[in-house]
Structure 1
Amino acid sequence: MMNIQKWLKHLSFASMAGMFLILVMGALVTKTESGRGCGDDWPLCNGKFVPAYTIESFIEYSHRFVVGVVGLILLATTIMVFLYSKRKDAKWYVGGAMLFTVLQAILGAMAVVWPQSSAVLALHFGFSLLSFAFTLLLYLVYTRFGGAMNKGDGTRLTSGVRWAVWGVLIYSYVVVYLGAFVRHTEAVGGCIGWPLCNGQVIPEMAGGTAIVFIHRVAAALLGLSILTLFLFIRAQASRDSAVYQAALYSLILVTLQILSGGFVTLAIGYDIYLLASLLHAMLVSFLFGVLCYLGIASVQTAERSSAKAYAASRLP
């Protein structure tokens, strides 16, 4: 059984790492405008199994290859989890990861074969992010953080804070989608300068400027929301609890995410722009994953508190 548990942990980690690589490579495809590097063909590239070498075709086909390999790893992980894991939540996580991996692969293929709107293309990153979040949760099941996702760690949060956690989590996905929409509409240059937009606190709301400015405002509100949430959780949870640590990491990551957004803007026109964009995508992936963990851990505090209340009510 110990060997099986090690295999489950190794496979879940490989799935998580693979999903993260897919996210980064997907952002690279978008930023280098390599999405059409294989023409209208899928799964072949320009009608060939091994395409002629161009930068665009290499980036796009490498992304497809990695998706295929990670898909096989995730399939193996799914089979192992359903056969050998006793954790019901692990089966939900691996099932969710598989579902959104298939959806993002289908959406990616459709984007190649048929032209898609920017709104639909942004969903591709959103589905990939959900796949990564599910694999992260799956991996955490087999680490020291897994206990808080199953039975809680003794923390008690008020119902208002628990609802706030899930509200912030859902809102963070909206902000991520807006960011992906900015990339796919190529509106990133709509606001020159940071933190001001084109030298104005509130710029003229038109075209790419409006899209970027809305994303900036949404990101700032997300930062304030996570700060407020952290202060409430700090007042109710011990410093060594999983919920407090997740809230603290969320605050750190959202701060870095906002700063990296400014870095992206200031890097426009310089060679470091691509690196700044990839860093931005990486940070938001970790932020969303940690918020998902915080959401699951907060649910367990509710279930544990409810169970205690029920047991107390049954006492003579």
Structure 2
Amino acid sequence: MQTISNRSFARYAWAVLAFNVGVVLWGAYVRAAGAGAGCGQHWPLCNGVIVPVAPTLKTIIEFTHRVTSGIDLALVALLVAWAFRAFPRLHPVRLGAVLSAIFLMTEALIGAALVLLEHVAKNQSSARGYSLSLHLINTLTLLACLTLTAWWAMGKPPVRVAGRPGWMAAGSLVLVMILGVSGAIAALGDTLFPARSLAEAFAQDFDPASSIFVRLRVLHPIIAAIAGTWLVLYAVATAGRRADLRPRAWLLLGLVGAQVAAGSVNLLLRAPVFMQMLHLLLADALWISLVLLCAGILESEPILTDKPV
């Protein structure tokens, strides 16, 4: 049974998740706009000062991202404090909130490393691909932790990862993570090496002299086809076995279809910034819906007490 305080916490947790999605989208816009070096090689200061004076547009874009990230730290700190006040010892909400805080801190540290190592703006080094991939994996893990925190705050039981359902859920999540990494690499290639036509883009993909980011770009639609097929089968099978999970399964199916459509349009239009943002928003929504579906599949016995200890 949920108390009024716990319901308020759940609404707050969902709001924090939504805010984090916004921060992620703005971070992608920083990359797409080439504004990652807008504050120079300085962190946490911006061009050596707390508040930039007479900033350029790129500085405003990067500084805004840093400000929203700072607000995010405060929001998640409150999430953790409230979780420990409202929920009992060993309650999964506490675990979810703490993990969210940990991955938010690693997110900030990775972001700082990107700036200090100059893995931003027009940097074309292969090392940037590794740092970008690590950043994406950490971001998805953060969003998953926030999602589960909000979900468990609504009185949902914790998950138990075991047996065939466990490895199928884990495999689905890892597959979508790999898809996300390939998408981030493809988007970086589009940003660093824009093509004037679709034919030129295809020629770049298979040119041995092209950057590794461009040559890897062709893998993204292949991985997307594999992941999309698997997710469709996974959702349909789940809907057939679990009537209570059908709404979540149908939502996942709808988002897979929307992502395929957005990805196709993004490709045909040669990845304009607005389509990259829409594609990423749908990707985040798909990830969150998959996390919720997996949580439902792996639910254990519900927690009966909600008195804090």
Structure 2 length-normalised TM:
0.82
Q: Give yes or no for contact 1:247–1:294 (8 Å, CA) kept in 2.
A: yes
C-alpha distance in 2 between matches for 1:169 and 1:191: 35
C-alpha distance in 1 between matches for 2:100 and 2:115: 23
Q: Is 1:115 paired with 2:126? A: no
C-alpha distance in 2 between matches for 1:235 and 1:134: 27
Which of 102, 106, 109 pairs up with 2:105?
102
Q: Is 1:142 paired with 2:153? A: yes
Q: Is 1:181 paired with 2:182? A: no
Q: Deviations over 1:152-187 (max 9, x none)?
A: 9xxxxx954553232111110111011112223446
Letter in 2 for 1:182: A
Letter in 1 for 2:112: A
Q: Deviations over 1:25-49 (max 9, x none)?
A: 1111111011000001111111122
Which of 231, 234, 254 pairs up with 1:229?
234
Report what 2:291 is aligned to: 292
Report what 1:253 is aligned to: 255
Q: Give yes or no for contact 1:119–1:181 (8 Å, CA) kept in 2.
A: no
C-alpha distance in 1 between matches for 2:70 and 2:251: 32
Change (3 A) 1:205 1:173: farther
Deviation at residue 13 of structure 1 after TM alignment: 2.5
Report what 2:144 is aligned to: 133
C-alpha distance in 1 between matches for 2:168 and 2:195: 32
C-alpha distance in 1 between matches for 2:236 and 2:172: 14
Letter in 1 for 2:131: V
Q: Give yes or no for contact 2:30–2:36 (8 Å, CA) kept in 1.
A: yes
Report which structure shows greater RCO (CA 8 Å, sep ≥6): 2
Gaps spanning 5+ residues in structure 1: where? Answer: 153-157, 305-316
Report what 1:312 is aligned to: none
C-alpha distance in 2 between matches for 1:119 and 1:297: 33
Report what 1:165 is aligned to: 169
Which of 262, 265, 283 pairs up with 2:267?
265
Deviation at residue 219 of structure 1 after TM alignment: 0.6
| 18-27 vs 112-121, greater mean Cα deviation | 112-121
Which of 203, 220, 223 pairs up with 2:225?
220
Letter in 1 for 2:9: L
Change (3 A) 1:205 1:288: farther
Report what 2:17 is aligned to: 16
The residue correspondences of 1:53-72 to structure 2 (distance < 5 A) are: 53-72=55-74
Report what 1:313 is aligned to: none
C-alpha distance in 1 between matches for 2:135 and 2:207: 27
Q: CA RMSD in A?
A: 2.7
SS in 1 for 2:80: helix
The residue correspondences of 1:66-105 to structure 2 (distance < 5 A) are: 66-86=68-88, 88-105=91-108
C-alpha distance in 2 between matches for 1:226 and 1:21: 25
C-alpha distance in 2 between matches for 1:181 and 1:258: 18
C-alpha distance in 2 between matches for 1:100 and 1:18: 15
| 112-121 vs 252-261, greater mean Cα deviation | 112-121
Deviation at residue 115 of structure 1 after TM alignment: 2.8
Q: Give yes or no for contact 1:18–1:70 (8 Å, CA) kept in 2.
A: yes
Q: Give yes or no for contact 1:188–1:265 (8 Å, CA) kept in 2.
A: no
Q: Give yes or no for contact 2:38–2:59 (8 Å, CA) kept in 1.
A: yes
Structure 1 length-normalised TM:
0.81
C-alpha distance in 2 between matches for 1:205 and 1:235: 46
